């Protein structure tokens, strides 16, 4: 007979046989979960966007590791789950991870959830999954909501190839440098951004990425969901009037083959390339990405090299 794992510092202890959940007023039972780590996707806004398998698993595991007990508890209360919760977030992960692994070592079952969406996407779950898998514990993924795929599907932009960047750097210089790198990727880009930075980020996107179609997705699946689709330049021009409250996902279409990069964006790209490559290679990359003539780019690269040399900085030959 399986023994119950030793108690851990958790919240809302439940009775051993209290494994049930409620859907549309109907009480359903959940058989004890299989030992191991269960990665459970949770709603990104609308609490109705959860699978029956996810509910059954959340009701059946020994404990749920979550980023914020207040957020996870709202979901549990909605579906009548008496969950045993443990905080697991980026600030306590190093200390809590061994406790979760010990629970798994005793034959226990643990569900890992993020505040919203699929675990391990912009949350601290990666190291836990890696260590659990390395130790030989079973790791199971329960697919479900994802703000990345939701935004991509509603953006009306190409979905055959996409690149998820997550959050860009908060500081402008680092952000612009990173965007110069992203400009090289021939795919639809998906970014997260906070409301207090979305306006300046849109301005940088328009300047550095040039003429591309894009979509601003705000508060996806929630009451005030909003999706605005337009060229980047238009979105940047309208940025001052957009609502900044809520959570944002920005989707930017792939480069347009007939588009030319702006002069300022070209300078940023060249500076970034010249720091890492020779003039010849930097110019070749810039020609490929910018859509501008090689002669023009080579001349501008030499000007930037002269400016850098005048400051006494090193330039690759």
* pLDDT at residue 258 in the model: 55
| More confident of the two residues 18 and 48 | 48
**β-strands 188-193, 139-142 pairing:** unpaired
Report the pLDDT averaged over residues 46-51. 96
> Length of the chain in residues, anyone?
317
Residue 160 contacts residue 258 (beta carbons within 8 Å) = no
Supply angle C-alpha 264, 266, 267, rounded to 5: 65
Sign (positive/negative) of CA torsion 124, 125, 128, 129? Answer: negative
- Structure tokens given for 82: 């008496």
DSSP letters of 62-111?
A: SEEEES-HHHHHHHHHHTT----EEE--TTTHHHHHHHHHHHHHTT-EEE
Q: Which tokens belong to 185?
A: 């990727």
- What's residue 16's pLDDT? 47
Q: Does 181 score more than 80 pLDDT?
A: yes
Distance CA 280, CA 94 (A): 46
CB atoms inside a 10 Å sphere around CB 56: 21
Residue-wise pLDDT for 59-94, tens only, equals: 999 999 999 999 999 999 999 999 899 999 989 999
**Whether the predicted pLDDT of 198 surpasses 50:** yes
Is 261 buried (19+), middle (13-18) or exposed (0-12) by CB count in 10 A? Answer: buried
What mean pLDDT do residues 307-311 have?
78
Q: Note the pTM of the prediction, 2 decimals.
A: 0.75
pLDDT digits (tens, 9 = 90+) for 201-256: 999 999 899 889 999 999 999 999 999 999 999 999 988 888 999 999 999 999 87
94-125: pLDDT as tens digits: 999 999 999 999 999 999 999 999 998 877 79
Q: How many helices (H) does the chain have, and how many strands (E)?
A: 11, 12
Question: How many angstroms separate the CA atoms of 62 and 157, rounded?
Answer: 42
Over range 177-182, report the average pLDDT.
92
pLDDT digits (tens, 9 = 90+) for 5-17: 444 444 443 444 4
């Amino acid at each position: 007979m399986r023994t119950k794992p030793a108690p851990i510092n958790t919240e809302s202890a439940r009775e051993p046989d209290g494994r049930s959940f409620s859907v549309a007023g109907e009480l359903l039972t959940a058989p004890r979960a299989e030992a191991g780590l269960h990665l459970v996707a949770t709603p990104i806004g609308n609490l109705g966007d959860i699978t029956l398998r996810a509910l059954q698993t959340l009701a059946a595991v020994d404990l749920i590791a979550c980023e914020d007990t207040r957020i996870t508890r709202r979901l549990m209360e909605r579906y009548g789950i008496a969950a045993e919760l443990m905080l697991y977030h980026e600030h306590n992960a190093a200390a809590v991870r061994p406790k979760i692994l010990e629970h798994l070592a005793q034959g226990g079952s643990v569900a890992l959830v993020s505040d919203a969406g699929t675990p391990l996407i912009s949350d601290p779950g990666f190291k836990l999954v890696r260590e659990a898998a390395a130790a030989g514990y079973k790791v199971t993924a329960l697919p479900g909501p994802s703000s990345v795929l939701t935004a991509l599907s509603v953006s009306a932009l190409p979905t055959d190839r996409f690149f998820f960047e997550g959050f860009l750097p908060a500081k402008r210089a680092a952000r612009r440098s990173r965007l110069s790198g992203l400009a090289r990727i021939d795919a639809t880009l998906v970014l997260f951004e906070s409301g207090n930075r979305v306006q300046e980020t849109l301005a940088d996107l328009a300047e550095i990425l040039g003429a591309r179609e894009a979509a601003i997705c705000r508060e996806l699946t929630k009451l005030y969901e909003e999706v605005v689709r337009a060229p980047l330049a238009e979105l940047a021009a309208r940025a001052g009037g957009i609502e900044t409250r809520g959570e944002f996902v920005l989707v930017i279409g792939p480069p347009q083959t007939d588009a030319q990069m702006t002069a300022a964006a070209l300078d940023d790209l060249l500076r970034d390339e010249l720091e890492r490559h020779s003039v010849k290679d930097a110019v070749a990359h810039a020609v490929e990405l910018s859509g501008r003539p090689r002669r023009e780019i080579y001349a501008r690269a030499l000007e930037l090299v002269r400016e850098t040399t005048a400051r006494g900085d090193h330039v690759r030959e």
